């Protein structure tokens, strides 16, 4: 029995290893991203929007690829200490892996990269009152990821002009997680 538990534990650890050969950065099969996800990291050129009580600080629960090609996101966020559930639908655009939504301005949400089985990174471009904000979100199929994923996320952030100082770790900040 102990051997069985040990092998199960090792297989879970091995399943979390970052595999750069599995990463997809175009021609996405969006149906494969449907399912349960956890918020791991966010980054933005406006940290106030992703810090505690920020309007873009959300904790993903589920993503569903709809029949019409749109994406449905189930999120939770904190409002005055209470967990509030929100469902938003992002409409498919002409570009593969890109969606639009009206929330706190005009937004474009695009997949930056994914391996489908373990992680996905989204890039959000928000236009509000003449101001443009960029935010990135790293979601995972598990509540925690190994450090190699942070390194990869930092590299992705650099492509958008964001450094480590722009990154917020959400893994221990999801106060609604225990209520799942």
Region of 98 on the Ramachandran plot (φ > 0 left; ψ -120 to 50 alpha; else beta): beta
pLDDT number for residue 20 = 65
pLDDT of 111 strictly over 90: yes
Region of 53 on the Ramachandran plot (φ > 0 left; ψ -120 to 50 alpha; else beta): left
Express each pLDDT in 64-110 by its tens digit: 999 999 999 999 988 887 888 999 999 999 999 999 999 888 999 99
* Share of residues in the chain with pLDDT > 90 (%): 72
The candidate with the shortest Cα–Cα distance to 168, out of 148, 178, 154, 152, is 154
Average pLDDT on 56-61 reads: 93
Express each pLDDT in 33-42 by its tens digit: 999 999 999 9
Burial class (CB in 10 A: 0-12, 13-18, 19+), 27: exposed
pLDDT of 179 strictly over 80: no
The candidate with the shortest Cα–Cα distance to 91, out of 114, 112, 113, 108, is 108
Average pLDDT on 21-30 reads: 89
Residue 136 sits at the vertex; the CA angle it makes with 133 and 137, to the nearest 5 degrees, is 135
pTM: 0.86
Cβ–Cβ under 8 Å, residues 123 and 110: yes
Across the beta sheet with 35-36, the strand order is 35-36, 59-65, 71-79, 82-92, 98-102, 106-114, 119-128, 131-140, 38-44, 167-169
User: Which CATH architecture is the domain 34-175 placed in?
Assistant: Beta Barrel (2.40)
The candidate with the shortest Cα–Cα distance to 113, out of 105, 121, 101, 104, is 121
**Confidence class for position 21, pLDDT limits 50, 70, 90:** confident
Lowest mean pLDDT among 12-21, 50-59, 80-89, 170-179: 12-21
pLDDT of 49 strictly over 90: yes
Q: Domain locations in the chain? A: 34-175
CB atoms closer than 10 angstroms to residue 174: 21
Express each pLDDT in 117-167 by its tens digit: 999 999 999 999 999 999 999 999 999 999 999 999 999 999 999 999 999
pLDDT of 175 strictly over 90: no
């Amino acid at each position: 029995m102990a051997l069985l538990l040990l092998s199960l534990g090792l297989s879970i650890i091995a399943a979390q290893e970052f595999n750069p050969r599995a990463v997809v950065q175009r021609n996405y099969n969006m149906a494969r991203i449907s399912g349960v996800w956890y918020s791991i990291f966010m980054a933005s050129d406006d940290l106030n929007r992703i810090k505690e009580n920020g309007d873009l600080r959300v904790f993903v629960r589920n993503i569903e690829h709809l029949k019409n090609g749109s994406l449905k996101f189930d999120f939770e966020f904190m409002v005055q200490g209470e967990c509030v559930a929100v469902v938003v639908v992002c409409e498919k655009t002409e570009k593969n892996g890109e969606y639009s939504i009206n929330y706190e301005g005009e937004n474009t949400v695009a997949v930056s990269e994914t391996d489908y089985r373990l992680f996905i990174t989204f890039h959000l471009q928000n236009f509000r009152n003449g101001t443009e904000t960029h935010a990135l979100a790293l979601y995972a199929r598990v509540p925690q990821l190994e450090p190699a994923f942070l390194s990869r996320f930092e590299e992705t952030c650099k492509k958008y002009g964001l450094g480590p100082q722009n990154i917020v770790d959400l893994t221990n900040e999801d106060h609604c997680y225990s209520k799942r």
